[in-house]
């Protein structure tokens, strides 16, 4: 509603009447998507960074995700608005049972009305979060990057990085530890094992300590299986930790280095283009396996959404760190000592790369 402001009459006794000025009231943002309106614990989705144009980023994200989502999961099915909940209403003698049934029908109809992909407020500039429903974000994003990597066909203009988020929790150390103990089991709990690295970034948050988070997560991975090993150059898994305000987003992804840190602008570049930028990190072929492509500084310049608080644990140049470290050796008996060694290996050399990406 507009508020009217009357101008005071001019001095000197003039008869000129002041004009009435109207200040337009700020309208509340309309929300038709259903579900949560902002990033919060308990969501799954895809975190996307963009280049100063969030509206265009959301449009590109919807187009890209729907294209590949239909390819993997089939066309999205929408609920019929004229369809009424099934059941014999009014026939139940028990009022309590009838009420529970009605509540269940309402919940079912609400779930059907939710879209497969829905943008929510991320809480940070140049960052978009797409909430997903009924899909596995890590598999969908990996499928997208794999196709773009093979075809080298550029499909976006403003989207930079696209990171799947498999789980979210409160951004407090105790909550993160409790959540990670269960979250990391599918990848690292015995008999499952693998090499890994940890990537950490923080936006609009000042109460979390990077070193503490890394050490705790590394210790959890080591406790799940002593054969898990740290690999800073060619890891099998990358544990992604994205903190925005009071929400921690977690995911475990594959081919993080091969797909240029999940950067859609970089992954389309050929090995020839990358070799011109940095010959030391050009594509190499050996034993039937392509070396992981990493140019670091280029992707850092292309991502303005990563600010001063964005810090990565793993340095991009493996020459600075030397050989890959192991979580624990066979002669290590004390589990506490093994966890301490693991954390020190993961954080080794990260001080010089705090502002990377």
Residue 18: inside a domain? no
**From CA 306, how far away is CA 300, in angstroms rounded?**
8
Strand blocks (E) in 254-356 = 285-286, 289-290
Does position 270 have pLDDT exceeding 70, yes or no? yes
Give the pLDDT score at 291: 38
Lowest mean pLDDT among 147-156, 159-168, 290-299, 331-340: 290-299
Give the pLDDT score at 208: 95
Residue of 212, 164, 194, 223 lying closest to 43 (CA atoms): 164
pLDDT class of 3 with cuts at 50, 70, 90: low
pLDDT per position as a tens digit, 35-84: 678 999 999 999 999 988 999 999 999 999 999 999 999 988 765 544 44
Query: Residues 176-201: what's their mean pLDDT?
Result: 96
The CATH code of the domain that includes 226 is: 3.30.2300.10
Residue 161: inside a domain? yes
SS3 category, 156: coil
Residue 6: inside a domain? no
Residue 160: inside a domain? yes
Structure token pair of residue 246: 């009071």
pTM of the model: 0.67
Does position 349 have pLDDT exceeding 80, yes or no? no
- What is the DSSP code (8-state) at residue 257? T
**Top-confidence range, 36-40, 76-80, 254-258, 339-343:** 254-258
Residue 21: inside a domain? no
Structural domain boundaries, residue 129: 45-75+98-271
Rg (alpha carbons) of the chain, rounded to whole number: 26
Give the pLDDT score at 277: 58
Residue 327: inside a domain? no
Return the higher-pLDDT residue of 176 and 287. Answer: 176
> How many domains is the chain built from?
1
The secondary structure element, H or E, covering residue 113 is: helix 95-113
Lowest mean pLDDT among 17-31, 94-108, 144-158, 329-343: 329-343
Distances (CA, A) of 93 to 97, 99, 101: 8, 11, 13
Please state the length of the chain. 357
**From CA 203, how far away is CA 161, in angstroms rounded?**
15
Give the pLDDT score at 20: 61
Give the pLDDT score at 266: 95
Q: Tell me the DSSP string of 175-203.
A: HHHHHHHHHTHHHHSTT---EEEEEEEEE
Residue 86: inside a domain? no
**From CA 95, how far away is CA 88, in angstroms rounded?**
13
**Top-confidence range, 151-165, 274-288, 326-340:** 151-165
Does position 331 have pLDDT exceeding 70, yes or no? no
Return the higher-pLDDT residue of 163 and 112. Answer: 163
Residue 218: inside a domain? yes
Phi and psi at 319, nearest 5°, equal: -65, -25
């Amino acid at each position: 509603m507009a508020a009217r402001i009357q101008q005071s009459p001019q001095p000197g006794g003039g008869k000129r009447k002041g004009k009435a000025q109207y200040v337009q009231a700020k309208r509340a943002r309309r929300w038709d998507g259903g579900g949560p309106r902002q990033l919060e614990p308990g969501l799954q989705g895809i975190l996307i960074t963009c280049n100063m144009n969030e509206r265009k980023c959301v449009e590109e994200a919807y187009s890209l995700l729907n294209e590949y989502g239909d390819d993997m999961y089939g066309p999205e099915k929408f609920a019929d608005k004229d369809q009424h909940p099934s059941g014999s209403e009014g026939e139940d003698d028990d009022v309590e049972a009838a009420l529970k049934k009605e509540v269940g029908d309402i919940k079912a109809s609400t779930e059907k009305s939710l879209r497969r992909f829905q943008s929510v407020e991320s809480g940070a500039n140049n960052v978009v979060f797409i909430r997903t429903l009924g899909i596995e974000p890590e598999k969908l994003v990996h499928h997208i990057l794999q196709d773009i990597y093979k075809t080298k066909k550029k499909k976006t203009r403003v989207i930079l990085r696209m990171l799947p988020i498999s789980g979210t929790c409160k951004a407090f150390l105790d909550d993160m530890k409790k959540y990670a103990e269960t979250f990391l089991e599918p990848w690292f709990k015995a008999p499952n094992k693998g090499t890994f690295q940890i990537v950490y970034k923080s936006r609009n948050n000042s109460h979390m300590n990077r070193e503490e988070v890394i050490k705790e997560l590394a210790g959890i991975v080591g406790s799940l299986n002593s054969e898990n090993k740290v690999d800073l150059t060619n890891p099998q898994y990358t544990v992604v930790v994205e903190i925005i305000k009071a929400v921690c987003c977690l995911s475990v992804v594959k081919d993080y280095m091969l797909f240029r840190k999940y950067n859609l602008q970089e992954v389309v570049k050929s090995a020839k283009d990358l070799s011109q930028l940095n010959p030391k990190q050009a594509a190499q072929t050996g034993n039937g396996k392509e070396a992981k492509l990493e140019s670091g500084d280029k992707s850092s310049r292309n991502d303005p959404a990563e600010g001063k608080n964005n810090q990565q644990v793993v340095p991009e140049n493996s020459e600075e760190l030397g050989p890959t470290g192991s979580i624990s050796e066979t002669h290590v008996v004390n589990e506490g000592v093994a966890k301490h060694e693991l954390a020190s290996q993961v954080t080794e050399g990260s001080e010089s790369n705090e502002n990377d990406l």
